[in-house]
Homo-oligomer: A and B are copies of this chain.
Amino acid sequence: MTVEEVTTAPRMKAADRRELILDAATAVFGAKSYVGTTTDEVARAAGVSQPYVVRLFGTKAKLYIAVIERAYERVIGEFRQVLPGPPEERVKRMGAAYAGLLSERGMLPVIANSTALDGEPEIGPVARAGFNSIWRFVRDEAGLTEEQTRDFMAGGMLINAIVGLRLVGAYGTEQSVTEVLNACFPDAISRVRDLMPVAGEPW
């Protein structure tokens, strides 16, 4: 018996489709960076056609901007959830929350890469704003001291680098990675261990 081929994605409210595409785009941009990613790859990952992606978001740059704005908001959202706890534990718990985002495909890589995208004139300002919003949240709302804030952000940037480079298992850093995570973000390590990618593999 012949099977009716599914040639078009099922109809869906545009807002839902948008979220679906943003998830897919986060994963693909995270794996291949902004310029290394094609709108077609995003479309296929989301199960829709390439022109439709462009249709919904206008341009590739606008799609990317939507992705990183969402990612930065997501980070702050996670951080905000730990505020109710005891202030002494905030660094620890925010670190764990950040590391926990490793489980969301592309979320951390996208943030890591956005830091290096001032080249694209539309994107630079958005990345700057996102970085600043996190910095200010950590300092002003979570109430860390200036020094704690700096160390926390530095630890985050190191995590980003390790994540961006898929640096687990590389000679000279094997045990360092564990210690890095442990030291930068106490308690994060147990959540991270199974989430870390292998060097060279997309994720």
Query: How far is B146's CA from A38's CA once the two chains are assembled, in angstroms?
Result: 40
A122: shortest Cβ distance to chain B, in Å?
11
List the one stretch of A6-14, A19-27, A51-59, A149-157 in contact with chain B. Answer: A149-157
Query: How far is B173's CA from A165's CA once the two chains are assembled, in angstroms?
Result: 27
Q: Which of B35, B170, B184, B199 contacts A36 (CB 8 A)?
A: B35
Q: Which of B136, B161, B166, B179 contacts A146 (CB 8 A)?
A: B179
| Inter-chain contact B164/A116, CB cutoff 8 Å | yes
Interface string of A29-51 (1 = CB under 8 A from B): 00111111100000000000000
Residue of A116, A158, A167, A200 with most partner-chain B CB within 10 A: A116
In which size bucket is the chain A interface?
35 or more
A144: shortest Cβ distance to chain B, in Å?
12
Query: How far is B153's CA from A172's CA once the two chains are assembled, in angstroms?
Result: 13
| Inter-chain contact B36/A132, CB cutoff 8 Å | no
A41: shortest Cβ distance to chain B, in Å?
11
Residue of A109, A176, A179 with most partner-chain B CB within 10 A: A176
| Inter-chain contact A132/B172, CB cutoff 8 Å | yes
Q: Which of B119, B147, B171, B172 contacts A33 (CB 8 A)?
A: B119
Q: Which of B136, B154, B164 contacts A158 (CB 8 A)?
A: B154
26 contacts between A and B (CB under 8 A): A31-B119, A32-B119, A33-B117, A35-B36, A36-B119, A36-B120, A109-B116, A112-B116, A115-B165, A116-B164, A117-B164, A128-B166, A128-B170, A128-B199, A131-B161, A131-B165, A132-B171, A132-B172, A135-B176, A136-B172, A146-B176, A150-B176, A150-B183, A154-B157, A154-B180, A154-B184
